[in-house]
Structure 1
Amino acid sequence: MSMTISALARSNGVGVETVRYYQRRGLLATPERGAGIRRYDAADARRLGFIRSAQRAGFTLEQIGELLHLDAGQDRARARELASERIAALDAKIAEMQTARAALERLARQCHASDEGPCPIIAAFEG
């Protein structure tokens, strides 16, 4: 399978500039021009898919770069370590969001309880 940069980008739901950005960051190779145009193959599409999936899991581009360079058979410990770090960060973000949700829920109940005085929601954010 041979494709242009626009076809590669489209196959993974990104723009051409995103592909070029990943190339500048060293996450994707820039193929040589053949007949004046760069051609990408299935391996490039899989690599771009890997990058997009890892981003959705919350990995940074630096972490993705490290994952891409790990040897699949020999570097499981480092891959687990990166995953554990990401899980801890997600757990912290979930806890932060649960706290924010509880506070907003409490303010909404207070606002609903009375139509007198300033709205507790607005007052809390003015504070």
Structure 2
Amino acid sequence: MAVNDGLSIGALADRTGLAVSAIRYYEAQGLIRPWRNAGGQRRFERADLRRLSFVMIAQQFGFTLPQIKAELDRLPGGRTPNKVDWAQISAGFKAALDQRIDTMTKLRERLDSCIGCGCLSLDSCALYNPADKAADRGQGPRYLMGDTPEG
């Protein structure tokens, strides 16, 4: 295959391990943008291998497709993304992952005391949430979100 012939959807599926239907779905979501050859067949750039790999990894980290698309939309359109382009995207994801790691660490450390207690604004935990004070601070797991019982 010549370099400018692009990859068929089957070749892209073989290389990524994704089903053809998944690739079509990602195309419909605007995550990849194939072109048509002279015969009208869908063709993909080799850079789409990296884009789809990024999609799969980002999903494993819990990012949504709209979040992933927003990041991919920052990549250059007229050329293959380079290391600098990917580093810029990586920086934003690192910050989000650091925040998630911090939240998960707090959850792990407080899991025994948080299950069923006031951090979810329940009134059943007199130790951490007397009189359901956490509810006054808003919705959700207030103490896991950074609020403290004292403050």
If the TM-score is normalised by the length of the shorter chain, which range does it land in?
A: 0.5 to 0.7
TM-score (ref. length: structure 2)? 0.51
Larger helix fraction of residues = 1
> How many residues in Structure 1 have an aligned counterpart in Structure 2?
106
Gaps of 5+ in 2: 123-151
Gaps of 5+ in 1: 108-119
State, as a whole percentage, how many aligned pairs show the same letter.
24
CA contact (8 A) 2:9 2:42 kept: yes
Conserved 8 A contact 1:9-1:15: yes
Q: Among residues 19, 24, 30, which one is paired with 2:23 in the alignment? A: 19
Q: Superposition pairs for residues 1-127 of structure 1, below 5 Å?
A: 1=1, 4-24=8-28, 25=30, 27-32=32-37, 34=39, 38=41, 40=43, 44=45, 46-55=46-55, 56-57=57-58, 60-69=68-77, 76=84, 80-104=87-111, 106-107=112-113, 121=115, 123-124=116-117, 127=122
RMSD: 3.5
Q: Deviations over 1:48-94 (max 9, x none)?
A: 32112322145712211322438657x94x75443322111110011
Choose between structure 1 and 2 for higher RCO, CA contacts under 8 A separated by at least 6 residues. 1
Q: TM-score, normalised by structure 1?
A: 0.58
The 2-side partners of 1:70 and 1:32 are apart by 18
